[in-house]
Amino acid sequence: MELILAKQAGFCFGVKRATHLAFEAADKGGETYTLGPIIHSPQVVQRLEEMGVKPLDDVNDLESGTIIIRSHGVAADELQAAIRRKLEIVDATCPFVKKAQEHVASLSRAGYDVVVVGDADHPEVQGIVSYATGRVYVVGSGEQARQLPRMSKIGVVAQTTQSFDNLQDVVTACLSKGGEIRVYHTICDATAVRQAEAKALSGQADCMIVIGGFNSANTKRLAEVCSELLPHRTHHIETACQIEPAWFDGVEKVGITAGASTPKWLIDDVIDRVREIERQIDSDKIR
């Protein structure tokens, strides 16, 4: 059985940085907390908890210690509260998300009404939106953008994982809504590149394994992309123990990819497990 691991499987730049900063803080010891899950990987969150890093819902519950800001960023007032409480802050916000937050703040200051292209329920978007000091709207599509009121100056910023097509649709809709439109292209192409590679891999493989948190939007999307070509042979798992030997009946090529929040150790575990199942199948054949 041939195993093909996607080149872009696993940690993106921002998640790698955030995880590194979190484990570094954990190594130092002391009272250490993360504001929300550091990344969308329950296994990484659990490992950090085992090292004494506790997740926290509200920064106001904390009197002292170190607070790690998750990769998706937090709301402006939460960061301010941490500063006011003189907590030690480890800011693991993805630098691309940080840029989007800064653009929203400067657009607001310059008198623009801000349109954020993204998913209103996503913590990254909730964080970005909080940096607006004037009017701000979240739209998920061009269709939603066409419902916006007329504005004189419109600033557009995108959630970093949005598709470029969606940004284009929203900008096109905004062009007929105002006299000036200022767009910051805040999309990180890691997501698009990972999806394109997964799609290509699905075209070659007989079976796809997609590894990543069940709470991770980008991993779910990755599994959807693979399912388009391999509807019954795409398996979204969090850990190696969820793999079933029956998936490999008659399979010659297995493709493996992983979401942006999936650590290397989970990917290695999956590869080891698939190899183990393969050996089992082979020895069954000999017997």
* Residues classed as catalytic: 124
**Which distant-in-sequence residues (6+ apart) come within 8 Å of 223 by Cβ?**
210, 234, 236
Cβ nearer to a second copy, comparing 164 with 265:
164
Binding segment (CB under 8 A) for a second copy, from list 66-74, 162-170, 217-225, 260-268: 162-170
Q: Is 118 a binder of a second copy (CB under 8 A)?
A: no
Per DSSP (E only), the strands in the chain are 2-5, 32-35, 53-56, 66-69, 88-91, 113-117, 136-139, 153-158, 180-184, 207-211, 234-237, 253-258
* Three-class DSSP labels, 180-226: EEEEECCCCCHHHHHHHHHHHHHHHCCEEEEECCCCCHHHHHHHHHH
User: According to CB under 8 A, which one of 167, 225, 258, 270 is a site residue for a second copy?
Assistant: 167
* Closest C-alpha among 134, 129, 125, 113 to residue 181: 113
CB of 185 to a second copy, least distance (A): 5
Window 181-200: contact mask with a second copy (x via CB under 8 A): xxxxx---------------
- Which residues inside 52-111 make contact with a second copy, applying CB under 8 A? none
- Least Å distance between CB 172 and a second copy? 5
* Rounded Cα–Cα distance for residues 266 and 273 (Å): 11
Report how far residue 240's alpha carbon sits from residue 272's, in angstroms, rounded to the nearest whole number.
Answer: 8
Least separation, in Å, of the C-beta of 2 and a second copy? Answer: 36
Would you say 2 or 180 has its CB closer to a second copy?
180
Angle at CA of residue 140, ends 137 and 143, nearest 5°: 95
Shortest Å distance, C-beta 76 to a second copy: 22
Stretch of residues binding a second copy (CB under 8 A), selected from 66-74, 178-186, 201-209, 264-272: 178-186
Minimum gap (Å) between residue 284 Cβ and a second copy: 52
In this chain, which stretch among 62-70, 77-85, 113-121, 174-182 interacts with a second copy, using CB under 8 A?
A: 174-182
> In angstroms, rounded to a whole number, what is the distance separating the alpha carbons of residues 73 and 224?
26
- Please give the DSSP secondary-structure letter assigned to residue 86: T
Binding residues with a second copy: total (CB under 8 A): 15
| Under rule CB under 8 A, residue 171 binds a second copy | yes
Q: Figure out which of the listed residues 179, 231, 232, 287 binds a second copy, where binding follows CB under 8 A.
A: 179
- Distances in Å between the Cα of 128 and the Cα atoms of 73, 218, 229, 236, 272 are 8, 18, 35, 29, 39
* Other residues' Cβ atoms within 10 Å of the Cβ of residue 31: 15
Positive or negative, the Cα torsion across 66, 71, 74, 76?
positive
- The residue among 118 and 263 lying less far from a second copy, judged by its C-beta, is 118
Rg of the chain in Å (alpha carbons): 21
180 sits near a second copy (criterion: CB under 8 A): yes
Q: Of 73, 178, 213, 263, which one interacts with a second copy (CB under 8 A)?
A: 178
Closer to a second copy by Cβ: residue 79 or 167: 167
Stretch that binds a second copy, among 3-11, 38-46, 84-92, 169-177 (CB under 8 A): 169-177
Binding residues for a second copy (CB under 8 A) = 164, 167-168, 171-172, 175-176, 178-185
